[in-house]
């Protein structure tokens, strides 16, 4: 087998799709009652390092992300719903990305010692904004302070050693536009997103391109 064929074989063999469903706070006032975080993370960097054919990239240990795309698809399951898919590209120097279901103790516990909500119980942070009548984007305020679009993605580095990683994160959610929802068809939305590693280093914040509710690709 030629070296290029061997590398392509390894990349294909180790390509992983991670799926994690998260049932969010549901009430008449919640716009997003079901969100699914889908991760298609292709560990090219770690694999290349294993083959010995490439030197490991010198990425910073604080994760870096870039906006790739936003798709709005009409749901085939429910009426008056949009299926939104946001794709990000990430790079991380030591590969300490992801949380497991057993990560429930500090610093990943639900509450801080003072009883406040611990931001880092999640590692994927998402805020949604709507274009107002003045032509400015402003945050959407939900009825419950406990409701948000934050979530967890699983551990991406399966090599049991520190190694640089890069790949894509795909975040998907179902957007309801019923009469009870604060978001209606024709509203223009955008999302602000960041991620955090296991050392609580938080990435840069990216802003997606705008989308129009009820307008599909």
Q: Is 63 helix (H, G, I), strand (E, B) or coil?
A: coil
Report the SS3 class of residue 35.
strand
Q: How far apart are CA 21 and CA 153, in angstroms?
A: 10
Q: What is the C-alpha separation between 178 and 176, in angstroms, rounded?
A: 6
User: What pLDDT was estimated at residue 34?
Assistant: 30
CB under 8 Å to 87, separation ≥6 — which residues?
A: 68, 69, 70, 71, 168, 169, 170, 171
- pLDDT of 7 reads 33
pLDDT beneath 50, residues of the chain: 1-51
Location of structure tokens 């307008």? 215
**Residue whose token pair is 């698809």:** 73
Cα 200 from Cα 31, distance rounded (Å):
29
Enter the DSSP assignment of 68: E
**Single pTM value for the model:** 0.76
CA distance 3 to 7: 6
Write down the pLDDT at residue 74: 86
C-alpha span between 142 and 24 (Å, rounded): 12
pLDDT value of position 55: 65
pLDDT for the residue numbered 43: 41
115: phi then psi, degrees, rounded to nearest 5: 95, -10
- Spatial distance between the Cα atoms of 100 and 104, rounded to a whole number of angstroms: 9
Q: Each residue of 64-97: b (16+ CB within 10 Å) or e? A: bbeeeebebeeeeeeeebbbbbbbbebbbbbbbb
Query: Which pLDDT does position 8 carry in this prediction?
Result: 35
Measured CA to CA, the distance from residue 217 to residue 213 in angstroms comes to 11
In whole angstroms, give the CA distance from residue 35 to residue 89. Answer: 20
- Structure token digits, residue 126: 């998402």
By the 10 Å C-beta count (0-12 exposed, 13-18 middle, 19+ buried), 42 is classed as middle
Q: Which helix (H) or strand (E) holds 23?
A: strand 16-23
- Nearest residue to 87 via CA among 31, 38, 17, 125: 38
């Amino acid at each position: 087998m030629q070296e290029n064929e061997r590398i392509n074989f390894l990349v294909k063999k180790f390509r992983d799709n991670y799926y994690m469903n998260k049932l969010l706070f549901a009430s008449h006032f919640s716009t997003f009652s079901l969100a699914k975080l889908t991760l298609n993370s292709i560990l090219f960097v770690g694999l290349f390092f294993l083959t010995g054919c490439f030197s490991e990239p010198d990425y910073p240990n604080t994760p870096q992300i870039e906006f790739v795309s936003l798709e709005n698809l009409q749901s085939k399951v429910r009426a008056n719903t949009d299926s939104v898919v946001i794709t990000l590209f990430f790079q991380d120097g030591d590969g300490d990305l992801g949380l497991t279901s057993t990560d429930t103790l500090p610093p990943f516990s639900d509450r801080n010692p003072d009883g406040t909500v611990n931001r880092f119980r999640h590692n994927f942070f998402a805020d949604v904004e709507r274009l107002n009548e003045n032509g400015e984007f402003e945050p959407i305020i939900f009825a419950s302070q406990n409701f948000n679009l934050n979530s967890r993605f699983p551990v991406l580095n399966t090599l049991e050693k520190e190694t640089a990683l890069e790949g894509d994160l795909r975040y998907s959610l179902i957007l309801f536009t019923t009469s009870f929802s604060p978001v209606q068809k024709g509203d223009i939305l955008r999302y602000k997103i960041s991620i955090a590693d296991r050392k609580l280093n938080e990435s840069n914040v990216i802003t997606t391109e705008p989308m129009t509710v009820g307008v599909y690709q």
